[in-house]
Structure 1
Amino acid sequence: MIPDSLKYEILVFGCGNLIFADDGFGYEVISKLEKMELPENVGIIDAGTGAPYYLMSLMDEECNTKKIIIVDIIDFQLPPGTLKILSTEDLTKIDKYTFDAHDMPLSDYLIKAKESGIDVTVIGCQAKRVTMPDIEVGLTDEVKASLDDAVKLVLEKINE
């Protein structure tokens, strides 16, 4: 049985950990979206570091999801705060997506979701600083300045 949070046609996941500086980007985008009126078929999830759990559940045949939008930091050596829409092929080039704490690559789940017919979009923001394992709450100015544009990109993808 799939969780209630996954019973939407469109799901927006914010990934990352807000106690490691720019890794909190996904959380901050989700926080902004939660204050907006979105269509009834859109679910918003602060996935934190638990995205594999949610993505595994999407493979259930009871799942109604047709589109997923992931919001997360990336490292493509771009200027900090730069937003980039990634394809599933790009995901295998991101260390964060090729492994996780349970040796379950996030990229594998996203590729399988796409292969099963789910539209997959990843909106990445180039981080300036990720402090893990040291705790630092709050985004750098460059990443914080990209939040509104990231929200606009999510809204565009919802309406495509």
Structure 2
Amino acid sequence: MNSKRILVLGIGNLLWADEGFGVRCVEALNAGWEFPPQVELMDGGTQGLYLLPYVQEADCLLVFDAVDYGDAPGNLREVVGDQVPRFMGAKKMSLHQTGFQEVLMAAELTGKLPAELVLIGVQPEELEDYGGSLRDIVKAQMAPALDIAFSWLERWGAPARVRQGKAASLTDAALAIEVYEGERPSASQAYRLGDARFLNLEEA
């Protein structure tokens, strides 16, 4: 029996457009597939150092995230091993990346960095749309990202099986992608780049 402890982590903020890529990927994995018991799927959100004990317990760590590499929007990269911390800090988009880079550093300092590290990252197109969802060019990379994950999980002795029945949600039900995209107001109904009352500096 394979005893490798595997953590599959999606990080980012669902409320800021393409920042939600990592969480949406792990959400899709959980909804569609089942894995052996040594695999833990987790919505890491923006929890930063709170994720440290989970990372320290893992032998293999696979992370989905939106990372600004300076590439064309939607470009997908697979980063492996000691390159992962460097890419996580390539160009900070938000505090969650600073926090997760610190998690990896702390795990290494305590001698508990996972033996195998993989980052599946996409170049975002839009990050400033509060309440927005993944842009089409980024959403289109979810399936290829999952294919890369399946390959690593099989290599680690934990192949995916198509899920039978409904999965327990990893995220708040109100933030599930179908609900989130179906019920949020459109950009024309709700200005999502800030409150226009405060952005308009002209006197009435």
Q: TM-score range by the shorter chain?
A: 0.7 to 0.9
2:132 aligned with 1:137: yes
1:80 correspondence with 2:64:
no
Residue 105 of structure 1 and its aligned partner are, at CA, apart by 4.0
Cα deviation, residue 76, structure 1: 1.1
Other-structure match for 1:5 = none
| Corresponding residue to 1:31 among 27, 34, 45 | 27
Q: What is the CA distance between 1:17 and its match in structure 2?
A: 1.0
Show CA shifts across 1:97-133 (max 9, x none): xx837xx6422322454563511111111000001xx
Residue in 1 that maps onto 2:141 = 146
Match of 1:18 among 14, 28, 33: 14
Q: What pairs with 1:4-153 in structure 2 (closer than 5 Å)? A: 9-35=5-31, 36-59=33-56, 63=57, 65-86=58-79, 87-88=83-84, 89-96=86-93, 100=95, 105-113=99-107, 116-118=112-114, 119-131=116-128, 134-153=129-148
Question: More relative contact order in 1 or in 2 (CA 8 Å, sep 6+)?
Answer: 1
SS at match of 2:44: strand
CA distance in 2, matches of 1:146, 1:20: 17
Q: Is the 8 A contact 1:15 1:51 kept in 2?
A: no
**Equivalence for 1:157:** 152
Q: Which amino acid aligns with 2:17?
A: A
Partner of 2:181: none
Residues 1:40 and 1:57: Cα distance change in structure 2 (over 3 Å) = closer
Question: Which shows bigger deviation, 48-57 or 37-46?
Answer: 48-57
Structure 1 residue aligned with 2:160: none
For the residues of structure 1 that align with 2:135 and 2:146, how far apart are their CA atoms?
A: 17
- Whether contact under 8 Å (1:110, 1:120) holds in the other structure is no
Q: Mean alpha-carbon deviation: is it higher for 26-35 or for 48-57?
A: 48-57
The 1:55/1:40 distance shift into structure 2, 3 A limit, reads: same
User: Deviations along 1:18-48, whole A, 9 cap, x unmatched?
Assistant: 1111011112101110121222211100111
Return the letter of the residue paired with 2:102. D
Question: Of the two, which has the highest radius of gyration?
Answer: 2
The amino acid of 2:20's aligned partner reads: G
CA RMSD of aligned residues (A): 2.2
> Can you list the C-alpha shifts for 1:75-115, whole angstroms capped at 9, x where unaligned?
1121211111222333332314xx837xx642232245456
